[in-house]
Every structure is written in C-alpha cells, then in structure tokens.
Structure 1
Amino acid sequence: MVFSGRSLGIAALFCCIVLAFIRREQIRNNRVTWSGLRSFLNGGERISQGFTEDIEAGLTSNEFDLAAHNADDQRNGLDDDAKNQIKDIMNQDRVDFNQARLTYLRRQFSNNNIAADGMPLDPKAVAFGK
C-alpha cells in the first residue's frame, strides 16, 4: 500500500491536532513556554508574570498599555486591591477598562477629599496659581 505525500501530510496534521487536544491542559498551564513565546513575539521585551496576567485579564488598553510601558519592570503587576475594584466596576457597570479606571480614580479622589480636578477640598489647603 503506497501513500501519497498529501495523505501523509493530512495524517500528520491530524495527529498534531489530536495530540494538542489531548494535552491542552498541560499546554495551557505551561506559562514558561507561553511567556517565552510572548517575549519573542514582543521583540525580546521581558514583561513580568504579574503584568502578563494583568494583560490577559483585560487590564490594558491603548491609553494604558502595560506591555509597552512595563517592559523589564520586575514588579508583580498592578495593585491587587485596585485590580479587583476595577474588575468589579467593569462587571457591574458593564464598561470598558478605561471607563472603569476613571470611575475608580474618581471614587479614590472622593474618598480622600479631593475634587474631580485634583484640587484638595480641605478649606485649610493652599494652592498657588492655576
């Protein structure tokens, strides 16, 4: 029985797909491989695992680009408390990441007695010029 090159190629492709399906959990959990691949695709930039997880969680945008601004940064990603609050805002208000960040920032200002324009609301505060 003689097989053509095309049928062997199709059989090899089928075997690769079946193997990938069987090993999908191991592939998904192998973060070292994926982070190395991301690093290669990003032109060699190294992004810490924390920032990589934040990017995968959707906590990035064109205006707040974690990949571009945190290359070679060794911190563990964004602040966990702020991340959780922003994710909650995104889910509850059904808004995108940028709108959720703005809402979070306004709430933080309000909690710290700061006006929306960044000026302190404390009557004893002194500000020079505008």
Structure 2
Amino acid sequence: MPYLLYSLTFMVLVTGTALYLTRAHWLHLMPNVNNMQHLYSRLPGSFAGDMEAGLSSSTFDLGGNVDAGDARAGLDDAAKTEILKIMKKRRVRFDEARRLYMEQRFSANGIAADGRPRDPKFVSFS
C-alpha cells in the first residue's frame, strides 16, 4: 500500500514538471483567465450605479429615483446579476434581458409566459 502512495506522488510530480516545462506548446489552447470578465464584476450599489450599468430604459426608468435622491441600495442583487448575465451572454438590451429573466422566473414557479398558472386545476372566469 505505501508503494502505491509513493508511486502516485512520484507520477504527479513528474507529470506536473513535464506540463510546466512544456507549457509553451499547450498554454495557447487554454482560455485566458485574465480576459474572463464574467468571473467577477462588482454590482452597482445605488440607483445611479444601476443606470450607469445599463439597467434602465424608457420603459423601466430609474431616473425618477436618482432625481429624488433615493438612498436605497438599488435593484435586487440577485436579479441584477442574472439580468447582466443574460445581457452579456445573449447580447440583448436591458428590456429584452428583463423579459427573458421574468419568463425564466415564471417557468420556475409554474406560471406560463402570458402570466396564467400552469396548474391543471386552475379555473378562470372571463
């Protein structure tokens, strides 16, 4: 049993050394970690910061909050994170990303895209 542990340790050291010495040949195949902006980005902490981050539009205007000097922390952090991910990943504007986010939330909660419950027992009277 000890020979297996020593052999495994030796193989890991040899493999690591070989990879380090030959990194010029295979490193270009790896993604560049320095250019990955989606790993971490600071969320804005106020309505003014939300507007600067692009989380405002003519149909969802935060200008009134900024003009009134609203001291709250801004929009929900979890929603901001998801909407910014959608905006970057799908390359859409804020309104479209907000719509896609709400459709995802609706489907996760058993609600159709038009706002009606998907419950088969649901009865609606016009």
The normalised TM-score by structure 2 is: 0.58
| Structure 1 residue ranges without an equivalent (≥5) | 1-48
Provide the rounded CA distance (Å) in 2 between the counterparts of 1:100 and 1:75. Answer: 23
AA aligned opposite 2:88:
N
- Match for 1:112 among 109, 113, 116? 109
- Match for 1:52 among 45, 48, 53? 48
- After superposition, residues 1-130 of structure 1 pair within 5 angstroms as 50-68=46-64, 71-129=68-126
**8 Å contact 2:47–2:75 — kept in the other structure?**
yes
Post-superposition offset of 1:124: 2.1
Provide the rounded CA distance (Å) in 1 between the counterparts of 2:122 and 2:71. Answer: 37
AA aligned opposite 2:48:
T
Post-superposition offset of 1:119: 0.4
Percent identical pairs in the alignment equals 52
Provide the rounded CA distance (Å) in 1 between the counterparts of 2:51 and 2:123. Answer: 40
Provide the rounded CA distance (Å) in 2 between the counterparts of 1:82 and 1:92. Answer: 15
| Structure 2 residue ranges without an equivalent (≥5) | 1-44
Match of 2:24 in 1: none
Query: Quick check: which has more Rg, 1 or 2?
Result: 2
The normalised TM-score by structure 1 is: 0.57
Aligned length: 81
The alignment partner of 1:68 has SS state of helix
Q: How big is each residue's C-alpha offset from its partner over 1:28-50, in whole Å with a ceiling of 9 and x where there is no partner?
A: xxxxxxxxxxxxxxxxxxxxx61
